[in-house]
Amino acid sequence: MQHLDLTVIRQALAWAREGQPVWLCTVLSTFGSSPREPGAWLVALRDGRHVGSLSGGCVEENFLARLADGAFQAPVQRVRYGDGEEGDGPGITLPCGGILDVLVERLAPGDETLVHLAALEAALTGQRPQLRHVDLVSGETSLADDSGLGERVVLSVEQSSHEESSEGNSSDGQSADEGSPQAPGQVQMRVGPAARLVLAGMSPVAEACAEFAQRLGFEVILCDPRPDVFAALSLSGVECVETLPSSFIAEGGCHGATAVVALTHDPRIDDLAMIEAVRTNAFYIGVMGSRKTSAARAERLERSGGLSKTALARIQMPIGLDLGSKTPAEIALAVMADIVRVRRGRERSEL
């Protein structure tokens, strides 16, 4: 998840508390080029006020205009944008050439909506990742505990022959615009805390990782006990904590959407961070080093750190995908690519 998700849900909750009906839009699938990924949210009121986004702006403009004209009264509807369809559909072509399938939910005011939105807020603040189920016919919603890993949106319909695939995204070729019959089935959406990257110590590779991670929507936290490290650091948007990474982790710095990476080559920082990280439910734990260095570290962590074989197996060492990386930026690319792989629930053998 990204920080914008939490902003959207908090605004939806605020409007619902005022007793207003709110419209929650979710990108279900993308085809071709698209500025937002499946799972992206927008919340709106009929008067045009809105938070979040679905595209670069053209989709939002069309949706808000139709909403103001009295559209989207059903509890749930699916709308396809980008293929220029005529009739009751949006009939617009996206500048990027892509196609978006959007789920539009009308959340009526009342206790049921308030409870549901509050549960989504709790999931986004790290209390417990949830799998959100929405019935595509009735609009009924429910939540179930989830690992938080895997595709953000999974759409299942009985008419599987209408399904299409899109590269890297969950997708479905069947669309239903306003006034069209809904395809039977259910959509499942993962809702969890914003992805967090904890950098255990500063290094040129860590700096490059921070830059990549921010562009990927991660909250980035850099922990280092050396005060001089931060004096010349210019990483906008990165939270810098002057402490041992192991202390930050031990004090609750990780949740299930956290990746912990140690990239300093300093065992005093890296090893302690790994010992604490495996005690958390962080979804990715890795430390930089050659295969020889990694083997020595594994032996040291088992012997001196008391880590079991199971705990050691959670640590990616050597870290990252084997891209033949040499420079700090290339190594950071390999690290972040591996983190995205695990976050999306992909095995290395599937690449």
pLDDT tens for 27-42 read 998 876 556 788 999 9
Tell me which of 56 and 131 has the higher pLDDT: 131
Flag whether pLDDT at 136 surpasses 80. Answer: yes
Most distant pair of Cα atoms in the chain: their distance: 70
Tell me which of 157 and 336 has the higher pLDDT: 336
Cβ atoms of 199 and 261 within 8 Å: the answer is yes
What value does the mean pLDDT of the chain take?
85
For helices 291-303 and 267-277, give the axis angle rounded to 10 degrees. Answer: 60
The CATH number assigned to the domain holding 310 equals 3.40.50.720
Amino acid (one-letter) located at 25: C
Residues 95 and 30 in one domain: yes
The pLDDT value given to residue 148: 78
Residues 17 and 162 in one domain: yes
Return the structure tokens found at 287.
């430390």
Residues 168 and 240 in one domain: no
Flag whether pLDDT at 165 surpasses 50. Answer: no
Flag whether pLDDT at 264 surpasses 70. Answer: yes
Final residue in a domain of this structure, among 143, 159, 191: 191
Confidence class for position 263, pLDDT limits 50, 70, 90: very high
d(CA 206, CA 212): 10
Residues 282 and 230 in one domain: yes
Final residue in a domain of this structure, among 134, 162, 191: 191
Flag whether pLDDT at 174 surpasses 60. Answer: no
The pLDDT value given to residue 143: 94
Name the residue range of residue 55's domain: 3-191
Percent of the chain with pLDDT over 70: 85
d(CA 143, CA 151): 16
Tell me which of 183 and 70 has the higher pLDDT: 70
Flag whether pLDDT at 164 surpasses 60. Answer: no
Count the Cβ atoms, other than its own, within 10 Å of residue 308: 11
Return the structure tokens found at 113.
């909506």
Residues 156 and 15 in one domain: yes
Residues 106 and 87 in one domain: yes
Amino acid (one-letter) located at 216: L
Could you tell me the pTM of the whole model?
0.68
Total domains, the chain = 2
CA-to-CA separations, 230 to 190, 238, 244, 266, in angstroms, rounded: 36, 11, 14, 17
Flag whether pLDDT at 91 surpasses 90. Answer: no
Cβ atoms of 260 and 278 within 8 Å: the answer is no
Give the ranges where 216-314 is alpha helix by DSSP (H).
Answer: 227-231, 245-250, 267-277, 291-303, 309-313
The pLDDT value given to residue 339: 97
On the question of a cis peptide bond just before residue 318, with omega within 30 degrees of 0, the verdict is yes
Question: What is the mean predicted confidence (pLDDT) over 37-49?
Answer: 93
Question: What is the mean predicted confidence (pLDDT) over 155-171?
Answer: 44
Burial class (CB in 10 A: 0-12, 13-18, 19+), 86: exposed
Residues 100 and 51 in one domain: yes
For helices 204-215 and 328-343, give the axis angle rounded to 10 degrees. Answer: 50
Question: What is the mean predicted confidence (pLDDT) over 167-183?
Answer: 38
Q: What's 195-219 look like in SS3?
A: CEEEEECCCHHHHHHHHHHHHCCCE
Nearest to 146 by CA among 281, 17, 305: 281
Kindly give, in sequence order, each residue whose CB lies less than 8 Å from that of residue 73, ignoring residues fewer than 6 positions away: 106
Residues 230 and 318 in one domain: yes
Residues 52 and 181 in one domain: yes
Element (H, E) at 62: helix 58-68
Residues 222 and 183 in one domain: no
Residues 154 and 207 in one domain: no
Final residue in a domain of this structure, among 164, 191, 218: 191
Flag whether pLDDT at 229 surpasses 90. Answer: no
Burial class (CB in 10 A: 0-12, 13-18, 19+), 92: middle
Residues 186 and 211 in one domain: no
CA-to-CA separations, 276 to 25, 113, 286, in angstroms, rounded: 39, 39, 12
Confidence class for position 183, pLDDT limits 50, 70, 90: very low
